[in-house]
Amino acid sequence: MKIDKFEKRVLIITLSVIGLFIFSLLYAKNKYQTDLPECLPYNKVYTEPKINKIDSTTYQVFSVASMWQFEPGEIYVPVGSEVDFYLTSKDVVHGFNIAQKNVNMMAVYGSINKTTVKFDKPGVYDIVCHEYCGVGHQNMRAQVIVNYPTAK
Amino acid sequence: MQVSKTFKRIIYLELAIPVALLIIGIYHGLMQTVYRAGVLHQTSFLKLDYYQGLTLHGVINALVLTTFFAVAFGHATMAFYFKKEPNKKLMWLSFWLMLTGVLLAAATMLMGKASVLYTFYPPLKAHPLFYLGAALLIVGSWVPLFDWVRMYNAWKKEHPETKTPLAVLGTLINFIIWFMCTLAVAYEVLVLLIPWSMGWTKTVNVNLARTLFWFFGHALVYFWLLPAYIMFYTILPKVAGGKLYSDLAGRIALFLFLIFSIPVGVHHQYSDPTITRGVKFFHGLLTYGVAIPSFITAFTIAASLEYAGRKRGAKGLFGWMAKLPYLNKDKFLFGYFICGLILFIFGGVTGIINSSYSLNNVIHNTAWLPGHFHMTVAGPVFLGIVGMSLYLYARMSGKKIFMPSVNAIIPYLWMIGMLIFSFGMSWGGLRGEPRRTNLGISYLNPESAQFRPDWVPTTTIALLGGVIMFLAGMLFVVVFFGTIFKKKTEEGQLDIPVAEAFHDEKRVPLFDRFKPWLAAMIVIILLAYIPALINVNKNSGPGAPRYNIDNPMPLENKTETVKP
Ligand code: HEM
Ligand SMILES: [Cu+2]
Ligand SMILES: [Cu+2]
């Protein structure tokens, strides 16, 4: 089978481009520590909303989404904190998006999602529910308040 | 070729019903951009709620239009290439099943009993007839496949050494993918959701339902795309005045779609719990596998167009681009195809971003996503579907196009609107605008504590694009129904342009038979989905009861509190 020389070139270019994508993806994953949420087996412990302070800059937040709020709704942490978010839903599927931090998780009944975020800069970070969850969906928002105006 | 009255009648119905429904579908598209830009600060307009409208928009545009067209175009392709009509009884059976399904689903949506969006994720509960409607639409679309396989086998017996026509191969591959992937959603609907929505089973495993849905969901997008691909390979080069650069390239691309379309569905669940990162990464890699046939197609189509341009006397490296029949009223299909392809360049690039593992964190479920897929499903898919529907109807009925000059510019208007719309949506998504959200009530309402002034410019751009698209869409509806109401001027016939191949390679048996590819497809699906299902099974806790869209208490509890 003879392959047209242009087609051959295109195939080589295609494979190199895809190779480049895979390389950049792995490179970024290591260099910037970006990763997808971590999946944990279901555990009832995480279904009670809670903020645990482990030490001055390490926090655990058990975030529980429900129609149409996140609990806890306001999370105060100091600048430089590393926060582990554990997420679940009390009812339908909800979303959990901190756009400024590229945090993106789904809250699903009967399961636990987890991610870690470092808040280096002071400010108010919106947590937006970005999955349709019924008539009050557009009102479902929480906030992370990082030293602003001052940490409580 | 001459075709029977019954054949024509079925095809007309299958083309015209979705175009009529598009009036509702596209109206809601416009309204979504209006609410989202904060022009309206209310839950509903003209008695139709935002999310009810969004459900209608997704179901009509993305499920009904695409499925009806795929079936009608499949019938036309089979009849045209085999010079034989499919079995009429089965054609009617398929039509009535699909229509009943659509009517059931439409009734529940219009009554506001199924505002669960076209993905119908549990535990939001829709009316059981909504699920039944979806199942009937799907089952109805399975019926033709069995008849077409019979036709194909009969033809193959007579022509064992002839290459299967590329369009036939594409149609069969498309419906095999469709059959395989819809098995999962049929299971989800019939076994998990209907008994649960009726209250026969108490709970449903939400993660399992989502995983089954996306087993179907990504292949669904290829079911939308492949009819357009078939048109680009087998019709476009002819309309452009040239030849298909390589026939074999088309076959290879189609078989690669067969094996890679399904085992990538977890890339829609990158943000989901219960599925481990390893499985997600594997599906991400396989998604890059689908990029290969896409690149092959991009090259082959571009080369075919270049050939056409040069044949028309173009000089230089890019001269051919200027020599194509962009605004030729008699070759209006060219405009529909080329605008779709231009949009698809952006659709493809944004799609690669979405599938790139942790990059997905940046855009998942933001407005970026509708920005992306309107440049695929509402780009090449939509333009291919409506252009071809008009073409097939006009030729089969022997009528002239109504307002041919308007018709020639519709795709360009749509494309310009779409580029503006998608620019606004994508940019907004990068700024965190959520999708599937009636922004006008909260985030785009200056009176609300949630007001986000930084989303005003982006939603306004999307609104501008939406208005232009709406205009183009309505003009199409006028042209289509205007053509239907015209008088017949010539003998109608089933006529599809057929592109010859520039490189018409010898028959390669491997690329002209299904068995090895089907085996490969099944192996890869098992490799990709057994681990995913094991994950879901292992990491999921209790199942969920039923919820209505307007009440945080589950349905069971309500009846329990009534009883003392
Ligand atoms: C006038 C033309 C159109 C406009 C202005 C428009 C606008 C929109 C907007 C703004 C959304 C997002 C709404 C939200 O997430 O809150 C959306 C969603 C969607 N559109 Fe369109 N659209 C149009 C045509 C189409 C066409 C022709 C198709 C398919 C053939 C289509 C398929 C979809 C789908 C599948 C969704 C997702 C629904 C969901 O998230 O459940 N749209 N559209
Ligand atoms: Cu929510
Ligand atoms: Cu996909």
Domain residues of chain B, as ranges?
Answer: 5-540
Averaged pLDDT score across all residues of chain A: 90
User: A29, B364: Cβ pair inside 8 Å?
Assistant: no
- Nearest by CB to A37, from B271, B442, B541: name it: B271
Distance of CA B548 to the CA centre of its chain: 28
Inside any domain, residue A74: yes
Res B561: pLDDT: 47
Measured between alpha carbons, how far is B314 from B324 in angstroms, rounded to an integer? Answer: 9
A14 and A49 inside one domain: no
A48 and A90 inside one domain: yes
Tell me the count of A-B CB pairs closer than 8 A. 199
User: A28, B358: Cβ pair inside 8 Å?
Assistant: yes
pLDDT tens digit string along B424-469? 999 999 999 999 999 999 999 999 999 999 999 999 999 999 999 9
Taking CA atoms, B458 is separated from B33, B268, B365, B423, B436, in Å, by 11, 25, 16, 8, 16
Which ligand lies nearest to the CA atom of residue B287 in the structure?
Answer: 3
Measured between alpha carbons, how far is A75 from B495 in angstroms, rounded to an integer? Answer: 65
pLDDT, tens digit only, all 564 positions of chain B? 899 999 999 999 999 999 999 999 999 999 999 999 999 999 989 889 999 999 999 999 999 999 999 999 999 999 999 999 999 999 999 999 999 999 999 999 999 999 999 999 999 999 999 999 999 999 999 999 999 999 999 999 999 889 999 999 999 999 999 999 999 999 999 999 999 999 999 999 999 999 999 999 999 999 999 999 999 999 999 999 899 998 888 999 999 999 999 999 999 999 999 999 999 999 999 999 888 898 899 999 999 999 999 988 888 888 888 888 899 999 999 999 999 999 999 999 999 999 998 899 999 999 999 999 999 999 999 999 999 999 999 999 999 999 999 999 999 999 999 999 999 999 999 999 999 999 999 999 999 999 999 999 999 999 999 999 999 999 999 999 999 999 999 989 999 999 888 888 888 888 888 999 999 999 999 999 999 999 999 999 999 999 999 999 998 754 444 444
Sign of the Cα torsion B323, B418, B171, B399 reads negative
Tokens matching residue A89: 């839903």
Number of structural domains (chain A) is 2
Half-sphere exposure of A69 (CA within 13 A, CB side): 6
Q: What is the mean pLDDT of residues A40-69?
A: 93
A114 and A141 inside one domain: yes
CA–centroid distance, residue B117 to ligand 1 (Å):
11
Inside any domain, residue A152: no
SS3 A119: strand
Res B501: pLDDT: 87
Q: Does A31 touch chain B (CB under 8 A)?
A: no
Res A56: pLDDT: 87
Tokens matching residue A128: 């937006």
Res A151: pLDDT: 45
Q: Which class is B5-540 in CATH?
A: mainly alpha
Phi, psi of A142 (to 5 degrees): -130, 175
Min distance B351 CA to chain A CA atoms (Å) = 13
Give the burial class of B197: count Cβ atoms within 10 A of its Cβ; 0-12 exposed, 13-18 middle, 19 or more buried. buried
Q: Is there a catalytic annotation at residue B73?
A: no
Q: Does A87 touch chain B (CB under 8 A)?
A: yes
Enumerate the residues of chain B whose CB falls inside 8 A of the CB of residue A71: none
pLDDT tens digit string along B67-87? 999 999 999 999 999 999 999
A48 and A84 inside one domain: yes
Phi, psi of B465 (to 5 degrees): -60, -40
Res A150: pLDDT: 57
A47 and A3 inside one domain: no
CATH code for the domain of A97: 2.60.40.420
pTM as predicted: 0.95
SS3 B495: coil
How many CB atoms within 10 Å of residue B510? 12
| Residue A93 lies in domain | 38-147
Measured between alpha carbons, how far is B352 from B258 in angstroms, rounded to an integer? Answer: 19
Min distance A59 CA to chain B CA atoms (Å) = 21
Cα dihedral A53, A54, A60, A62 in deg (nearest 10): -60
CA–centroid distance, residue B265 to ligand 3 (Å):
6
Residue among B87, B102, B95, B89 at smallest CA distance from B13: B95
User: B273, A106: Cβ pair inside 8 Å?
Assistant: yes
Phi, psi of A75 (to 5 degrees): -120, 115
Residue among B475, B428, B470 at smallest CA distance from B452: B428
Residue among B402, B419, B376, B371 at smallest CA distance from B485: B402
Tokens matching residue B502: 């520039």
Taking CA atoms, B326 is separated from B292, B301, B329, B368, in Å, by 28, 16, 9, 30
Report strand pairing: A58-66 vs A50-55: antiparallel
Element (H, E) at A61: strand A58-66
Helix axes B206-234, B515-539, angle to 10 degrees: 150
User: B554, A109: Cβ pair inside 8 Å?
Assistant: no
Measured between alpha carbons, how far is A128 from A66 in angstroms, rounded to an integer? Answer: 13
Report strand pairing: A81-89 vs A58-66: parallel
- Nearest by CB to A4, from B365, B503, B547: name it: B503
pLDDT tens digit string along B129-179? 999 999 999 999 999 999 999 999 999 999 988 999 999 999 999 999 999
Res B562: pLDDT: 44
Q: Is there a catalytic annotation at residue B373?
A: yes
- Nearest by CB to A104, from B271, B280, B452: name it: B271
Inside any domain, residue A91: yes
Res A149: pLDDT: 58
SS3 B82: helix
CA–centroid distance, residue B373 to ligand 1 (Å):
9
Band (pLDDT 50/70/90 cuts) for residue A1 is: low
Measured between alpha carbons, how far is B267 from B260 in angstroms, rounded to an integer? Answer: 13
- Nearest by CB to A36, from B123, B357, B554: name it: B357
Measured between alpha carbons, how far is B365 from B354 in angstroms, rounded to an integer? Answer: 10
A43 and A4 inside one domain: no
A14 and A67 inside one domain: no
Q: Is there a catalytic annotation at residue B514?
A: no
Enumerate the residues of chain A whose CB falls inside 8 A of the CB of residue B277: 35-36, 38-39
- Nearest by CB to B272, from A1, A108, A134: name it: A108
Give the burial class of B520: count Cβ atoms within 10 A of its Cβ; 0-12 exposed, 13-18 middle, 19 or more buried. middle
A44 and A100 inside one domain: yes
Measured between alpha carbons, how far is B402 from B391 in angstroms, rounded to an integer? Answer: 12
Of all protein residues, the one whose alpha carbon is nearest to atom 34 of ligand 1 is: B58
Element (H, E) at B535: helix B515-539
Of all protein residues, the one whose alpha carbon is nearest to atom 8 of ligand 1 is: B29
A50 and A26 inside one domain: no
Q: Where are the beta strands (DSSP E) in B220-288?
A: 244-246
A85 and A11 inside one domain: no
Q: Is there a catalytic annotation at residue B222?
A: yes
Element (H, E) at B269: none
Q: Does A137 touch chain B (CB under 8 A)?
A: yes
B-contacting residues in A 1-20 (Cβ below 8 Å): 1, 4, 6-7, 10-11, 13-15, 17-18
Measured between alpha carbons, how far is B498 from B266 in angstroms, rounded to an integer? Answer: 37
A17 and A67 inside one domain: no
Tokens matching residue B365: 């479920």
A56 and A84 inside one domain: yes
Min distance B26 CA to chain A CA atoms (Å) = 20
Per-residue 3-state assignment (H helix, E strand, C coil) for B377-430: HHHHHHHHHHHHHHHHHHHHHCECCCCHHHHHHHHHHHHHHHHHHHHHHHHHHH
Q: Is there a catalytic annotation at residue B36?
A: no
- Ligand 1, CB within 6 Å, residue ranges: B 26, 29-30, 32-33, 36, 54, 57-58, 61-62, 65, 117-118, 370, 374, 377-378, 382, 435-437, 466, 469-470, 473
CA–centroid distance, residue B220 to ligand 3 (Å):
8
Give percent of chain A above pLDDT 70.
95
User: A14, B276: Cβ pair inside 8 Å?
Assistant: no
Q: Is there a catalytic annotation at residue B218?
A: yes
Residue that is written with structure tokens 């290459």 in the block: B163
User: B272, A113: Cβ pair inside 8 Å?
Assistant: yes
Half-sphere exposure of B229 (CA within 13 A, CB side): 31
Enumerate the residues of chain B whose CB falls inside 8 A of the CB of residue A108: 206-207, 210, 272-274
User: B365, A135: Cβ pair inside 8 Å?
Assistant: no
CA geometry: angle B163, B168, B170, nearest 5 deg: 105
